[in-house]
Chains A and B, each alone.
Chain A
Amino acid sequence: MDYALIWFGLIGLLWAGYLVLEGFDFGVGALLPVLGKGTSDADSEKRRRVMLNTIGPHWDGNEVWLLTAGGATFAAFPEWYATMFSAFYLPLLILLVALIVRNMGFEYRGKRDDDTWRARWDMAIIGGSIVAPLLVGVALTNVVRGVPLDADSEFVGNLFTLLNPMSLLGGLVVLGLSLTHGAFFLALKTTGDIRRDARTLGTTLGLVTAGLAVVLLLWLGLTQGTLWSWITTAIVAVSLLAAIYANVKEREGWAFIGTAVTFASAVATYFLTLYPNVMPTTLADGTSLTLENASSSEMTLKIMTVAALVFTPIVLLYTAWTYWTFRKRLGTQHMPAPVSVK
């Protein structure tokens, strides 16, 4: 059995899982200033709290998908991990800082009843929730598009090599999809005005994202596409349009599932385009990193496969249970008085 191929697929799944899950909490965080705007300051604050509490029990677990994708890449494709993480040095630094301030925002925002305190953490949450998906999109698109790797597969570009038009568009698409996914999630998880506003905004966001995604995927498909990647590209298009349609028809569950499928099939498109490379070079005399030359030994891959087969179902089971436990819709009436500490 080709274990490297299995792990290439599993890392694809981990990225899909990451974007499907953290995608919506990015969206909720980034939409805080828009959907969290009420008729008065007090109303705005309540709306923001409702929004944050819809993702409260989940965002932390969602983020682990990124860590697992990183850890799995390290273990299964050390060369890929080493080259990718050192090549994307500064963008990754910004991504990490964005995730740090955002997470601290979630945890600390409600810990004091103080407007200035909350306003500052709101900035951290909003900024982090916009910057992070943007950079994830830029990074993943650069991986698929290729970066300058020399004959030893060592990165020889700089920060500006990474900021090419296709990758920037990739960043915008991931951000747009996150915003749409987040709006649909809010429509599904809330009651009252927020639910209505999220639905309305979701349609607009979805249409704009669909436009951007079509340009990106056609561009990528025409330059590097394969038969399989065109099939998943079609799924991206159909599921996103279906999601928008479901949203208009007020079928909120289906709309959310729709954008989840969109994210997953977009990642599939990326990985199918990438195969059999894991990081192609853009230099004529460079060496691409491939499944073959970047992967771990068969023994490591086997051990990891067994672990993944045993533990992934368990993780999925208890993750699913959290969503079931907190399935209730939230409204402003559910918000308790803020915690008052001096």
Chain B
Amino acid sequence: MDAVDVARWQFAITTVYHFLFVPITIGMSLIVAIFHTQWLRTRNPEYLRLTKFYGKLFIINFALGLVTGIVQEFQFGMNWSDYSRFVGDIFGAPLAFEALLAFFLESTFIGIWVFGWGRIPEKLHAACMWLVHIGTVLSAYFILAANSFMQNPVGYRFNPETGRAEMADFMAVLTNKVQLVTFPHVIFSAYMVGGAVVMGVGLWLMRKHATTDDEPMYRKATRFGAIFALVASLGVIVTGDIQGKIMTEVQPMKMAAAEGLYETTTNAPFSVLSIGSLDGSEATRIIEIPGLLSFLGTGTWDGEVEGINELRVSERAMAEKVAEQYGPEVAALVLVDDYTPMIPLAYWSFRFMMGLGFATMAAAAATLWAMRKNRVPHGSVWTWVAILTPLAPVFANSWGWIFTEAGRQPWIVYGLMTTSTGVSPSVSATEVWVSMIAYTLVYAVLAVIEIKLFLTYVRRGADPFEDPADHADADEDAPLQFAY
């Protein structure tokens, strides 16, 4: 593998790993904030116990999301310096905004929330978790705006003097039509993850505590998580549908690759699975739904969906036009032999994303049904529902990103710069290998520790009720309510 390949693997590994934790952080921060607020409103001790319990799980997860995020920000300059040079004028601004508006908010208020029990006024304390949540959402907004620029570059002009893309309209970058649908799609997906984690953990503990006084509390959490995930999944479907149509418009190749559709077709079918090579020679589709791909892409069942073969030609024509307009330097950035992403990866990642998403929805609905009228779902299948429900949407998110990013190849910025030209010229393949091995090892060790710790705290369950207000007026030398 040369430096480009290793750098791509490294970006894929570090990003997917980082994004295992991000949706949990976004989703759970909102649910913890809601529990905390419910405690203040109702003074029902169950809510305080749930707040602290899920709060701890949240923090165990937050820590890893944060540290892996630092790597992401540095990686553009380290591994993709020519990319950073070419689009830094536009791409850097949302990143700087993200740090200034979102990272400070999250990091500062998580510190206050964790250490603030009994130290600050109650309402302010609960507000801290809301601010953490707002921080995570803002963070998602800015990083997705940056990513949407890579999917559908807008608001820039090419400056022949500096040889780079420069900002022409920042509002256009922030309101990119790809961004306007990607952002809600990602946020709803994150809420689905948060709901599924709260539900899965709650379900596990509800079954475990079926005969204790804690059963109603865990039931409450399970029900809340399941409803939360269900509602969010409706948002995911609606936004995903719109996103498919916008994607068909701005990056038709990605959607054609999602079905492995080689020839332009009207009433294009969608296959649930397929056997075969997907290289256009032969593939046996299993359960083909006629017209569904056309509907996903265009909104009508007999809409025309362009095939990969035609799109190869039209992307080359697009690249040649750019090359002609801006001269040889830019031509080197846009002209490659083949404008086709890796079809099997696009095809399968798209299906894994949707399949796991629908599985989550089904599990949440089934759990609610099984819990009706104070029933405790019995039978070992529910143990598996409890364990797998949180994992399914997490991996649905991963596959969604793999689809989005892999489906854009060979472009790093669609129509403007190919991935292989973005890599750092001064960094050797050996250096990238060293860092990839280092990250992979460190990440693997941390994953094992994180999962073990998370499960330890799940098994332990919620602590007994302790009213934080009782400590507030205690003497100066009372022990802290939270300490490392």
* Partner-B contacts on A (CB < 8 A): 49, 52-53, 56-61, 63-64, 66-68, 70-72, 74-76, 78-79, 81-87, 89-90, 92-93, 96-97, 99-101, 103-104, 106-112, 154-156, 296-297, 299-300, 303-304, 307-308, 311-312, 315, 318-319, 322, 325-326, 328, 330-331, 333-337, 341-342
Binary interface profile of B, 233-274, with partner A (CB < 8 Å = 1, else 0)?
000000000000000000000000000000000000000000
B480 and A300 form a contact (CB under 8 A): no
B66 and A103 form a contact (CB under 8 A): yes
The docked-state distance in angstroms from the alpha carbon of A100 to that of B483 is 21
Interface positions, chain B 55-78, Cβ under 8 Å from A, are 59-60, 63-64, 66-68, 70-71, 73-74, 76-78
Which of B96-104, B318-326, B346-354, B376-384 lies at the interface with chain A? B96-104
A57 contact set on B, CB distance < 8 A: 111-112, 114-116
20 A–B contacts, CB within 8 A, in A order:
A53-B484, A63-B70, A71-B73, A74-B76, A74-B92, A75-B96, A76-B96, A85-B76, A85-B77, A96-B74, A100-B71, A101-B442, A155-B426, A300-B89, A304-B93, A304-B96, A311-B100, A315-B100, A333-B477, A334-B483
Given A74-B92, A304-B93, A341-B460, also A100-B442 (CB < 8 A): yes
A296 and B97 form a contact (CB under 8 A): no
A56 contact set on B, CB distance < 8 A: 111, 114-115, 483-484
Nearest chain-A residue to B98 (Cβ)?
A71
The docked-state distance in angstroms from the alpha carbon of A231 to that of B290 is 77
B427 contact set on A, CB distance < 8 A: 86, 89
The docked-state distance in angstroms from the alpha carbon of A78 to that of B167 is 13
Given A49-B483, A82-B84, also A108-B449 (CB < 8 A): yes
B88 and A336 form a contact (CB under 8 A): no
Q: Total number of A-B contacts with CB less than 8 angstroms?
A: 246
The contact of A107 among B59, B85, B425, by CB within 8 Å, is B59
The docked-state distance in angstroms from the alpha carbon of A156 to that of B427 is 10
User: Does chain A have a CB within 8 A of B444?
Assistant: no
The contact of A82 among B68, B77, B120, B449, by CB within 8 Å, is B77
A74 and B95 form a contact (CB under 8 A): yes
A342 and B456 form a contact (CB under 8 A): yes
Give the size category of B's interface with A: 35 or more
A63 contact set on B, CB distance < 8 A: 70, 107
Given A71-B95, A300-B92, also A83-B81 (CB < 8 A): yes
Interface positions, chain B 194-244, Cβ under 8 Å from A, are none
B101 contact set on A, CB distance < 8 A: 307, 311
Given A107-B63, A322-B112, 11 other A-B residues pairs in contact with their CB atoms under 8 A:
A78-B89, A81-B76, A82-B84, A90-B431, A90-B434, A92-B74, A110-B484, A156-B426, A297-B166, A325-B119, A341-B456
The contact of A297 among B59, B167, B442, B457, by CB within 8 Å, is B167
User: Does chain A have a CB within 8 A of B277?
Assistant: no
Nearest chain-B residue to A69 (Cβ)?
B99
A67 and B73 form a contact (CB under 8 A): yes
The contact of A87 among B89, B426, B434, B476, by CB within 8 Å, is B426
Binary interface profile of B, 458-484, with partner A (CB < 8 Å = 1, else 0)?
001000000000000000111111011
Given A86-B427, A108-B453, also A92-B78 (CB < 8 A): yes
A108 and B479 form a contact (CB under 8 A): no
A52 contact set on B, CB distance < 8 A: 484
B425 contact set on A, CB distance < 8 A: 86, 154
A104 and B67 form a contact (CB under 8 A): yes
B96 and A322 form a contact (CB under 8 A): no
User: Does chain A have a CB within 8 A of B110?
Assistant: yes
User: Does chain A have a CB within 8 A of B168?
Assistant: yes
B233 to chain A, nearest CB (A): 31
